[in-house]
Structure 1
Amino acid sequence: MALLTDDQVDAALSGLDGWERADGVLRRSIKFGSFLAGIDAVRRVAERAEAVDHHPDIDIRWRTVTFALVTHSEGGITKRDVGLAGDINRLLTT
């Protein structure tokens, strides 16, 4: 799978609320109302990630969860990362 150009990543980010490009990855941090709400969100994202065989790096800090997406095998951001970012946004708004 081909890496996205900077322009392609910028265009994709315009449609991905809350996401940014930082240190070569797509990243979104979300503060939840409680620790358990954050853990529940991680579980839902993990189920989707497993279904599409594309797994984010996830950092949990009390009520703040950070998702980082990059296609390690390609060495950068690809359409798979953009797609999973959109999936995560949909999962966290339902």
Structure 2
Amino acid sequence: MTELLSDSDIDAALTGLPEWSLVDKSITRTVELPTFPAAIEFVSRIAVAAESADHHPDIDIRWRKLTFTLSTHSDGGLTQKDVRLAHEIDSLLPDD
């Protein structure tokens, strides 16, 4: 079992993840890519990173918009796994 983040830990983590929002026991971010194929390619890149980390986001695909939701379901809330994967998702975003 991974240790859940405290409220102050979550606040500190979100300071470094300004595009992410706290929603219930998860963090979420929506991004828009220039085309549908670009969005799907980005999801594929995230899939590789998530598989490598053995931690998988919930992903909602709506044409060019992708919403990522992170929570460590097995532990019932946010852990460092979620923070690390959020940073990884941000780092993989293509430059505008």
For the Cα contact (< 8 Å) 1:45–1:88, is it kept in 2? Answer: yes
2:70 counterpart letter in structure 1: L
Aligned equivalent of 2:68: 67
Distance in 1 (alpha carbons) for counterparts of 2:81 and 2:11: 15
Aligned with 2:38: secondary structure?
Answer: helix
Aligned equivalent of 2:19: 18
Shift of 1:18: 1.1
User: What is the CA deviation profile of residues 10-32 of structure 1, one whole-angstrom value per residue up to 9, with x for unaligned ones?
Assistant: 11011013111112201000011
In the TM superposition, what are the counterparts of 1:77-88 in structure 2 within 5 Å? 77-88=78-89
- Gap regions ≥5 residues in structure 1: none
Write out the 4+ residue segments of structure 1 that deviate beyond 4 Å after TM superposition. none
Aligned equivalent of 1:2: 3
Distance in 2 (alpha carbons) for counterparts of 1:17 and 1:33: 21
Q: TM-score, normalised by structure 1?
A: 0.95
Distance in 2 (alpha carbons) for counterparts of 1:4 and 1:13: 12
Percent identity between the two aligned chains: 50
- Gap regions ≥5 residues in structure 2: none
Task: Quote the RMSD (CA, aligned, Å).
Answer: 1.0
Number of equivalenced pairs: 94
Aligned with 1:26: secondary structure?
Answer: strand
